[in-house]
Amino acid sequence: MIYINIKKILKNQKKTKYWFIKNMGSSYQAVSNLMNNETVGIRFETLDKICDVLECEPRGYYCKKKIFKKKERK
């Protein structure tokens, strides 16, 4: 699963969630869901906007984590 590290980047840049939401130009709920990894999809124009606002490359704000599934017992 892919996770977005926006909170970490904001902390490193000493910027607030409010600042990010204001500069993204989207609704509070949409950006908050994105920051909390509660979205199932993201548009390329949103990725581009994140890069512009945070002044970073896409690889700088997402990571992939493995999800281990439990084996079924027979």
Instruction: Please give the tally of structural domains in the chain.
Output: 1
Asked if 33 and 39 touch (Cβ cutoff 8 Å), the reply is yes
For residue 7, what are the CA distances in angstroms to 10, 12, 73, 74? 5, 9, 39, 42
Average predicted confidence (pLDDT) for the chain: 85
Whole-structure pTM value: 0.74
Q: Tell whether the model's pLDDT for residue 74 goes beyond 70.
A: no
**Assigned domain for 69 exists:** no
pLDDT band at 13 (very low <50, low <70, confident <90, very high): very high
**Assigned domain for 73 exists:** no
Q: Identify the domain containing residue 32 by its residue range.
A: 2-64
**Assigned domain for 58 exists:** yes
Residues 6+ apart with CB under 8 A from 1: 64, 65, 67
d(CA 74, CA 63): 34
**Assigned domain for 40 exists:** yes
**Assigned domain for 74 exists:** no
**Assigned domain for 31 exists:** yes
Tokens 């993204």 — which residue? 24
CATH of the domain at 21: 1.10.260.40
Q: Tell whether the model's pLDDT for residue 50 goes beyond 70.
A: yes
Q: Tell whether the model's pLDDT for residue 64 goes beyond 90.
A: no
